[in-house]
Amino acid sequence: MNTLRAILLACNALAFLYFLLYLVAYLAQAVYAWSDVRLHSLRVRTTRLNTLGREQSGALPPVSLLAPAYNEGPVVVDAVKSLLQSTYPQFEVILINDGSRDDTLARLVEAFGLVRSTRSPYVHIQTKPIRGVYTSPTCPRLLVIDKENGGKADALNAGLNLARHHLIACLDADSVLEPDSLLRAVRPFLEDPSTVASSGVVRVANGCTVADGQVQEVGLSSKPVVVMQVLEYARAFFLNRAAFGGVNALPLISGAFGVFKRELVAKLGGMATDTVAEDMELVMRLHDYHRANNLPFRVAFVEDPVAWTEAPESLATLSRQRARWHRGLAQVLWRYRHMLFRPRYGALGMLVLPFYWLFELLEPVVTVLGYLTLMGSWYVGMTGFGSVVALFGLVTGVNLMIGLVALLFEETSFGRYNRPGEIARAVLYTFTDAFWYRWLVVFWRLKGFWQAVRGDTHWGHLQRTAAWSRPAPARRRKTTTTLE
Amino acid sequence: MPIDDGLLFTLSIVLIICAVVLAMGIVGQKWWARRAERRDRAVLARLEAEYRTGGPQFEALAAQHRDLAHHLLLERLKEGDSTAAAHLERLGFVAAYDEGVKNPSPEVRASTAHNLGLLPADLHPERLLLPLLQDPHPVVREAAVRAISTTGSGDAVGPILGSLASSPDPYLYRMARHTLTECGPHNLPALLEAATGGKPQVRRLALDVLAELNAPAVLAPLLELTTDPDLEIRLRAARAIRFYDSPEARAALLRLSEDPEWQVRAQAAKALSWVGHEAVVERLKALCCDRSYWVRNNAAQSLRFKGQAGRQALEDLAAGDDAYAAERARESLETMRREASRA
């Protein structure tokens, strides 16, 4: 019995230490992210970005937008139209149909009058066989690649082979870009020639009014599970990534919107096809390559370029997505474990990767074990029920503050949600997080962790509803175009 | 437990109270902002009506709602309404800019610089803008450079170049380039001096601007720069001399098209599209087989502008053995066909 008590005591002490470290890590991030977000929002307010494109169209590097699509039939035409509406002076859209089993290609052929193209590849990264390359006589900026199914990374590699511009933007086919998103995301490449990649902010489109491939009015979904994801995105982008980007240690650029130097990605062998987190893997590879060879580089995070994406609305789909993300995180962290605590990898190796190992990868395990040992301590009479409640209150309070601070950053800097009712609802849901959503995420992450341990590399598929592809109604109140 | 329960309870309660206060602050701020926005819209409509009709109430109302009146007058200035400047001066806004440029907040200094850029030249906004080029905050410097572009004063050329020499900020560089293109014609000697000596970033900027200005007096110094050891200077010189269809400029471009650096060859291939001479077609045809994609691409694009000889060269390349050259040539021919059918 004494041994059990000693073990429980040690576990409780470790869990408490973990919690203190977690608190310090987020506090440091909040302080760093605050100055970064403020500086950026000041720059946005005092810069006439709309004229920047016209004034400097000759100086802006052209960009190839790569959008892989698999069974995106219902949304693909609107998605391509949205990409084509960018105000960026020079760009091409390369949509890669990754062996869809639905009518994705047929819809594209019909909508854009596609004809066969003779474009030959500029680089030769191994991919699944290409069935055809098409261009549109009415839309010269569009190129469609039809290939056999090989996964998102394989599709991006096919696009990379045929991309003609020095910069590539990797997107999800269902991403809705704001007209000046590209202009803002390319800015770090103009500011600093050593920039190798730049990341934008991804926001949840569910609840917004989308028409003609553009977000017409920003709104918050009425579904609690979507609101919780909005809060998670705010936390991820305005705390984690803003802080990590500021010290050139951004380990992840979302697959929904990131800009890279094409030659460099090709030189490093393109996207990795043996992981489900090809976006994070590529960024880690960029860090590894530049740090190992002592080359100057910068992976930039820009707070305001926005890509809107459809978030899962059903718990089953969200569960699969989160398990996959966690599995991918585990795969990448394990692959790049040699960077951990190595001073040559700078802030990434010394601070950010330990953070990801401790507070992202192991967080579900520690959370469950922490609460189990706490309950065990209570069961054997080592602690009173009051202590259990007090600790739960403390953890909840800290997480609540972190969520609210992220929301505050978003509100005071960019303030995309206009209605006070929506902000009130977001705040209210932040208070409920500790009682249901957090536990669901912990469970899904545990599932992903277990899948990673078993070596599962299956992708799964997110079912598209295409609710936002319907035409905009005359009156917003009775709209059916929202992503509900 | 190693830590006192009472302390944990107190900490939890304090945290949750802080969270509630923060939450109320976030929602309250939004609600207040929304309310203020509605109120401001109503006042702005009244101000606008008074301003349009020249009503006597305008200045009294403007004195009560200074921020809104300021906003309205700046909007009018943007639309080219010169009477707005007189109102700005009479209401004391122009005098307030003197304080704005000294404000400790970079946000205030940057927005003052932006507002100064809207003022007409007779109010001499550059008097306050030029010192802001040395501001410690990069956003303020950018705002000042942008604002100067609207004043178009030749006096600004020297300070802008000096500001870039002391602070090699790449974004400032972009902004300065645009501004100097606006102000440069009034002060060519300063630009030429900067292009031929000094720090590399200043030389590059000056050359970029000279390339835009196309002033006949600067051809000789530009030709000298085509042999500069700095790659960035050579490629900028290639771009700058493209408008001068003289034997010297043509010879320099043909020489640059054989440069060991692909960036210079690509730029020369592009610049040769402006030069009309048969020797150029042969050179462009050879550049279509270059090992660099951008050189091939630019050469094939330039051949589009060389009439029948250019078309023939593209057709030869499209039917030739070099698959890479053929691919670029086919695309150029396709573009020509599309343009012809559109015409």
Tens-of-pLDDT digits for all 343 residues of chain B? 456 778 888 888 898 899 999 999 999 988 998 888 899 999 999 999 988 887 778 888 888 888 889 889 988 887 888 788 888 888 888 889 999 999 988 878 888 888 888 888 778 888 888 888 888 877 788 788 888 877 666 677 777 877 777 666 656 676 777 778 777 677 777 888 888 777 787 888 888 888 777 777 778 888 888 888 888 888 888 888 887 778 888 899 999 999 998 889 999 999 998 887 677 899 999 999 998 888 898 999 999 988 889 999 999 999 998 888 888 899 889 888 877 877 6
Could you give the maximum distance between any two Cα atoms of chain B, in Å?
Answer: 92
B5, B21, B101: best to mutate for the A interface, most A CBs within 10 A:
B5
Asked if B252 contacts B226 with a C-beta cutoff of 8 angstroms, the reply is yes
Distance from CA of A40 to the nearest CA of B (A): 10
Q: Within a 13 Å sphere around the CA of A318, how many CA atoms are in the beta-carbon half?
A: 18
Predicted confidence band of residue A468 (pLDDT cuts 50, 70, 90): very low
Taking CA–CA distances from B2, the nearest residue in chain A reads: A13
Q: Are A45 and B5 an interchain contact pair (Cβ–Cβ within 8 Å)?
A: no
B12–A397: do the CB atoms touch at under 8 Å?
A: yes
Residue of A48, A390, A420 lying closest to B31 (CB–CB): A420
8-state DSSP, A131: E
The reply to whether B330 touches chain A by the CB within 8 Å rule is yes
DSSP letter (8 states) at residue B207: H
Nearest Cβ partner for A394 among B15, B110, B327: B15
- B-chain residues near A411 (CB < 8 A): 26, 29-30
CB within 8 Å: A420 and B18: no
Q: How many residues does chain B have?
A: 343
Local confidence band at A478 (pLDDT 50, 70, 90 cut-offs): very low
> Which residues of chain B are within 8 Å of residue A140 when distances are taken between CB atoms?
338
The pLDDT value recorded for residue B75 is 85
pLDDT at A473 over 50: no
Best of A405, A427, A428, A429 to disrupt the B interface by mutation (most B CBs within 10 Å)? Answer: A427
For A389, nearest residue in chain B (alpha carbons): B9
Closest CA to A285 of A226, A240, A345: A345
> Which residues numbered 156-215 in B keep a CB inside 8 Å of some CB on A?
169-171, 174, 177-178
Q: What's the burial of A438, exposed, middle or buried (CB within 10 Å: 0-12/13-18/19+)? A: middle
Angle A124-A129-A134 (CA atoms, 0-180°, nearest 5)? 85
Cβ-defined contact of A390 to B30 (cutoff 8 Å): no
Using CB atoms within 10 A of its CB, is residue A31 exposed (0-12), middle (13-18) or buried (19+)?
A: exposed
Classified as helix, coil or strand, A383 is coil
Q: B78 — contact with chain A (CB < 8 Å)?
A: no
Residue A444's CB: how many other CB atoms inside 10 A?
21
CB contact under 8 A, B12 and A396: yes
pLDDT single digits (tens) B307-325: 889 999 999 999 998 888 8
Residue A482 DSSP class: B
| Contact flag A55-B142 (C-beta cutoff 8 Å) | no
pLDDT digits (tens, 9 = 90+) for B7-43: 888 888 898 899 999 999 999 988 998 888 899 999 9
Q: Is B31 on the interface with A (CB under 8 A)?
A: yes
- Give how far B10 is from chain A: nearest CA, Å: 9
B338 touches chain A (CB under 8 A): yes
Task: Please answer yes or no on whether B30 and A423 come within 8 Å at the CB atom.
Answer: yes
- By Cβ distance, the residue of B9, B19, B30 closest to A404 is B19
Tell me which chain B residue has its CA closest to the CA of residue A42. B107
Residue A312 distance to chain B (closest CA, Å): 26
Closest CA to B287 of B267, B257, B259, B261: B257
Residue in chain B lying closest to A5 (CA): B1
Cα separation values, B296 from B147, B270, B321, Å = 40, 10, 15
**Cβ-based neighbour number of residue B4 at 10 Å:** 11
